[in-house]
Amino acid sequence: MIASEIEACQYGDEQRKGRAVSDTNSSKRPTIYDLAELVGTSPTAVSSVLNGSWKKRRISQKLADRVLKAAQEHGYTVNIQASVLRRDRSNIVGMILPKYDNRFFGAMAEQFETRAREAGLFPVITCTQRDPALELQAAREMLSYQVDYLICTGATDPDQITDLCRAAGVKTLNLDLPGTKAPSILSDNFTAARDLTRVILDACERDFGGGAPLMFIGGRSDDHNTRERRHGFLEAHKERGISVPDHLMITNGYAPEKARETLLKMADVPNGIFVNSTITLEGVVFWLRSLAPERAAQIRYGSFDWDPFGALLPQNVGMVRQDVSALLDLTFRTMKDGTEGNTMQLVPCQLEMPTV
Amino acid sequence: MIASEIEACQYGDEQRKGRAVSDTNSSKRPTIYDLAELVGTSPTAVSSVLNGSWKKRRISQKLADRVLKAAQEHGYTVNIQASVLRRDRSNIVGMILPKYDNRFFGAMAEQFETRAREAGLFPVITCTQRDPALELQAAREMLSYQVDYLICTGATDPDQITDLCRAAGVKTLNLDLPGTKAPSILSDNFTAARDLTRVILDACERDFGGGAPLMFIGGRSDDHNTRERRHGFLEAHKERGISVPDHLMITNGYAPEKARETLLKMADVPNGIFVNSTITLEGVVFWLRSLAPERAAQIRYGSFDWDPFGALLPQNVGMVRQDVSALLDLTFRTMKDGTEGNTMQLVPCQLEMPTV
DNA sequence: CAATCATGCTCCATCGGTTGAGCAGAAGCT
DNA sequence: AGCTTCTGCTCAACCGATGGAGCATGATTG
């Protein structure tokens, strides 16, 4: 449509104060009022054409076309702030995530975004550095954004967040680590840990003879997943009648440096090591590098969580790969159901073995 | 403050239609109107106390305390949508990012969030899967959120985004990959690639004797960084009087499968390989695993971008580690300066060598 | 004692989009 | 012709926070 075709303006320049016609060409973003003026119609008509409710509102195809064309030409984008402010639902889904520094959380973030978009929702992710204070701040921020739903991934204190959100009328879901006040979706840590432990025990038995307990390293003793994995670890030992002394169960955090220092200080590290995260594994392999080659060759380990390069390191005998797709399938299903309250769903993991 | 202390209400129940007193206890989020009613003051006073402008507006300490207490007790969080709608600046900074699946982008995302918060800004990140259409959609979405500034990381067509944003009066910055219409901040790809190539050539010379050209694999030939790295790669060869045949320069994308297939089909792969990204490296190491051990032992490689486990693989002789902190320092400085237009700043990389 | 100033608040328009209500004109029906 | 129904649109209130303007007080000054 060219300028001369514009119909008689029903909306004068002074309709909205301070908004002169020349503003239309300025660097400010065009609004539905600008488009209405350009096309010669009402802001309501423009809004309904642009948000898809125009058929319901009996706007003619002809007017719709003209509005769409003008919107296209002027690079119109809706102001979400204004839109959400008026509507009762924002269609924004939030996710809080501890870190972006490993494949598991990275995949969670990417797939969450993809799925949210597919469902016509706007994803907003923020990472909280495993810091409870930041988690709470992030949750508040998400509420400020008027999220319709909040997914708390690997949160250290999910119940606190659930309470905060419930007070604001926002439902939450706990992913990867469970809470007691909202639905929780997590991997079957016990089974996967038991199976991984079996694999490491098998490798040690094959290469060095059996009977010796493995070492468990990484994680926090107050963390549900660590507890489950310790449980699976001990179960696999019990099956073979091997008892594990306390000093081999080390859960002093996920940080690589902690693991490395612990191993360096330790008098005799067992041949087999169960590493509770890829982040901890970084510390373990760093320690390994500091050993004499013949000593390093006497080590076998496996880790919870998968990494493509970690999987190729020589002494690695297996990695637990969490099923991100399945976790997110369940998450979105639960979100759509609107399920609330303390439920828990477990998703099986895959065990990735060396390909050689 | 307990209920009986509430002063005479100057704001009756009917002040804002449909908002009954009982609503205060419902699951809807409290607004400044609710707090005003509870405390017995005006919404303006509440707003100014909560956003910190109360001293300037001459609100008494006593009233401020009462408002803050009520806000605390009722879990008030500001409605950003409403706040941003009214203000001229949103304090929201957007970042678009190709992927979350490697350490470089993961670190970029984490540090961006941290720095933005430190600067009192709200970070919003979205990932675009290296898809130009998604990049544009993501940029539009960011405009919808009223971002004050948009950082385009590794965008395939940054100029298009700059145009879109400029039309909306939003400044942009190109990070990691340059554009021609906004400031660009990126690593010194040429120098780092040349140095890495030297290291790989040295390793090959030491282990297998010199004179043979390396292979370059990964990336896209239309991508600025790939061109710079090819340039540095060729420069290091030229220094030693080695010429590189065209069939050893392979830039058919970053995907691991592509690299693997190419290597599988290739008649005689050189001993030394320059791998243009950690994602491509996944394909290379996968191929390596399929070789006979004695053949695999004849390979040396280095890669652009760093990965903690990749660095420990036996044939790896060096990794270029981009300086994420420095890149983001410059980014935030440039953002604050308000610099516009086609400028380019280069940041040196670190070269990580095997520690053994 | 009047004039001036500082203090401590409130009023109201506003940001941009959405939505229920309503209105004019055309078409259809009896 | 008089009635209803349908079509195609517009009006105006509203979402929640913000900030300029303004209005009572009480204190200070000439």
Furthest-apart CA pair in chain A: how many Å? 92
B286 to chain A: closest CA residue: A312
The tens digit of pLDDT for each residue in A137-187 reads 999 999 999 999 999 999 999 999 999 999 999 999 999 999 999 999 999
Give, in Å, how far the C1' of D10 lies from the CA of A82: 21
- Is residue B204 within 8 A of residue B210, CB to CB? The reply is yes
Q: Per residue, what are the HEC states of A215-242? A: EEECEECCCHHHHHHHHHHHHHHHHCCC
Give the per-residue pLDDT at B76: 95
CATH homologous superfamily for B87-182? Response regulator (3.40.50.2300)
Give the per-residue pLDDT at B24: 39
Q: Determine the average pLDDT of the residues in B295-305.
A: 96
B window 142-171, beta carbon within 8 A of A? 143-146, 164, 166-169
- Strand nucleotide closest to residue B50 (CA to C1'): D17
Query: Residue B83 pLDDT more than 90?
Result: yes
Q: Determine the average pLDDT of the residues in B13-19.
A: 41
Cross-chain Cβ contact B145/A28 below 8 Å: no
Identify the residue whose Cα has the smallest distance to the C1' of D19. Answer: B44
Please tell me the total number of residues recorded for chain A in this structure. Answer: 356
Task: Tell me the HSE value of B167 on the side-chain side, using a 13 A CA sphere.
Answer: 18
Which among A113, A168, A281 has the least Cβ separation from residue B126? A113
Determine the Cα–Cα distance for residues B9 and B36; give it in Å rounded to an integer: 9
Exposed e or buried b for every residue in A294-333, given b needs 16+ CB within 10 A? eeeebbbbbbbbbbbbbbbbebbbbbbbbbbebbbebbbe
Q: Where along chain B do its domains lie? A: 3-78, 87-182, 189-321
Query: Residue A121 pLDDT more than 50?
Result: yes
The tens digit of pLDDT for each residue in B258-283 reads 999 999 999 889 999 999 999 999 99
B353 touches chain A (CB under 8 A): no
Which among B85, B124, B285 has the least Cβ separation from residue A81? B85
B87-182 shares its CATH topology with B189-321: yes
B146 to chain A: closest CA residue: A79
Query: Residue A108 pLDDT more than 80?
Result: yes
Q: Determine the average pLDDT of the residues in B300-325.
A: 95
CA B143: distance to chain centroid?
Answer: 17
Give the per-residue pLDDT at A28: 77
A window 180-219, beta carbon within 8 A of B? none
Cross-chain Cβ contact B309/A313 below 8 Å: yes
When the pLDDT of each residue in chain A is averaged and rounded to a whole number, the result is 91
- What angle (nearest 5°) sits at the alpha carbon of residue A247, between those of residues A245 and A251? 115
Q: Which residues of chain B make contact with A356, given a CB cutoff of 8 A? A: 289
Which residues in A98-251 belong to E strands, given as ranges? 122-127, 149-153, 171-175, 184-187, 215-217, 219-220, 249-250
| pLDDT higher at A1 or B228 | B228
Determine the Cα–Cα distance for residues A88 and B79; give it in Å rounded to an integer: 13
Query: Residue A3 pLDDT more than 80?
Result: no
Query: Residue A262 pLDDT more than 70?
Result: yes
Query: Residue B25 pLDDT more than 90?
Result: no
Which residues in B145-190 belong to E strands, given as ranges? 149-153, 171-175, 184-187
When the pLDDT of each residue in chain B is averaged and rounded to a whole number, the result is 91
Give, in Å, how far the C1' of D3 lies from the CA of A37: 38
Q: Determine the average pLDDT of the residues in A85-102.
A: 95
Query: Residue A273 pLDDT more than 70?
Result: yes
Q: What percent of chain A has pLDDT over 70?
A: 92
Tokens, residue A21: 């016609």
The tens digit of pLDDT for each residue in A314-338 reads 899 999 999 999 999 999 999 999 9
Residues 6+ apart with CB under 8 A from A48: A54, A56, A57, A59
Give the per-residue pLDDT at B314: 87
The CATH topology of domain A88-182 is Rossmann fold (3.40.50)
B312 touches chain A (CB under 8 A): yes
Q: What are the residues facing B319 on neighbouring strands? A: B303, B352
pLDDT band at A356 (very low <50, low <70, confident <90, very high): low
Give the per-residue pLDDT at A161: 97
Query: Residue A10 pLDDT more than 70?
Result: no
Torsion angle, alpha carbons of B106, B108, B114, B118, to 10? -170
Whether domain A189-321 has CATH 3.90.870.20? no
Query: Residue A281 pLDDT more than 70?
Result: yes
Q: Determine the average pLDDT of the residues in B203-213.
A: 94
Give the per-residue pLDDT at B68: 97
Give the per-residue pLDDT at A78: 95
